[in-house]
Amino acid sequence: TAVPRQTTEWLRTIDESLRDRIGATGLIEARQTRQLGEFITQYLASRIDAAESTQVKWRITAGHLTAHLGAKKLVHAITAGDAQEFRLYLTGKGLAENTIRSNIAVAKMLFNGAKRWRLTESNPFAGQKATTLANQSRFRFISHQDTQRLLEAAPDWQWRLIIGLTRYGGLRCPSEVQLLRWSDIDWARQRITVTSPKTEHSGKESRQVPLFPELQQLLSDGFEMAEEGDEHVVSRYRTAGQNLRTGLARIIRRAGLTPWPKLFQNLRSTRETELVETYPIHVVTGWLGNTASVAQKHYLQTTE
């Protein structure tokens, strides 16, 4: 039979050694114990549904957790007080508020996993704020004139495609831009199939994007320049160590402009802002692969 509620409440007040002794008799379910470092390693290995870029973000938070709390600390012994101290630890490292909240969101996800694995009865991060805040000061609207200056300053046709696909196609860069194949472009029906690792876990591994007029000439020129047998639209800038942000910042300066915050996201944000002025938001978010709430909070800008 289930343990009576009064007994359950009492069990939460006793010390760990007594609770474990009672669990050993079989009167209550024995607590599973796992060290934090061991649990995180096993949990992340089990999440084969997550994209590699997501796993990278999770591993960064895992590093912060084990550095602050200790890899050998037992999962069930981590308290809400420890969670609060972890937030202060991140603050002390000089991280921005949204970066702190992103780390807290990952920690909350990890301990929800620990609850499902019956390693802890509660999530110590449950009361921590994890929703990122919109930062209007980091928005920049990149005009058609400035975009043209970027295209003219680009060192080659592949960089022109990287800029064009992000600014006029609304693709995520680098993930969606680097995955785009020439076979994904339907010239006859004037549309592009975009493969999206970011939304793959939610059953939206791809989406349809119009072959916008601003993209047609860029893609047509790129197709003529591509070598025979090239599968990907962007074939040159694909290595893991390739830092496209550094390259774009260099192009921006060469164009006589000042690099803006969130280099590629603001190109995408500009496109979504433009499209919403003409098309319903549910259509635009379908093209760009986000939701209306995310668009309104993190993408749509108030233009001049």
What is the pLDDT tens value at each position of the chain, 304 positions in all? 777 888 888 887 887 778 878 888 888 776 677 899 999 999 999 998 887 878 899 999 999 999 999 999 999 889 999 999 999 999 999 998 889 999 999 999 999 999 998 888 889 999 899 888 777 778 899 999 999 999 999 999 999 999 999 999 999 999 899 999 999 999 999 999 999 887 766 667 899 999 999 999 999 999 999 988 899 999 888 775 678 999 999 999 999 999 999 999 999 999 999 999 999 999 999 999 999 988 988 889 888 8
- What are residue 145's phi and psi, to 5 degrees? -65, -45
Give residue 252's pLDDT.
97
Give residue 199's pLDDT.
72
CA distances from 168 to 42, 128, 160, 275 (A): 41, 38, 11, 10
Pair type for strands 206-210 and 185-186: unpaired
Alpha carbons 196 and 174: distance in angstroms, whole number: 11
Q: Specify whether the CB–CB gap between 194 and 246 falls below 8 A.
A: no
Alpha carbons 288 and 284: distance in angstroms, whole number: 6
CA distances from 289 to 167, 194, 200, 281, 295 (A): 15, 9, 11, 12, 10
Give residue 220's pLDDT.
95
Other CB atoms closer than 10 Å to residue 197's CB: what's the count? Answer: 17
Please, which residues bridge with residue 194 across strands? 207
93, amino acid identity: K
Give residue 223's pLDDT.
95
Question: Euclidean distance between the first and final Cα of the chain, in Å?
Answer: 67
Give residue 59's pLDDT.
95
Q: Specify whether the CB–CB gap between 248 and 264 falls below 8 A.
A: yes
Alpha carbons 279 and 295: distance in angstroms, whole number: 14
Residue among 201, 183, 178, 182 nearest 58 (CA): 201
Q: Specify whether the CB–CB gap between 122 and 98 falls below 8 A.
A: no
Give residue 240's pLDDT.
59
Alpha carbons 245 and 137: distance in angstroms, whole number: 20
Q: Specify whether the CB–CB gap between 171 and 209 falls below 8 A.
A: yes
By residue count, the chain amounts to 304
Token pair 């000061």: residue? 137
Give residue 201's pLDDT.
63
**Host H or E run for residue 186:** strand 185-186
CA distances from 81 to 6, 71, 88, 126 (A): 25, 17, 11, 12
Indicate the pTM of the whole model. 0.69
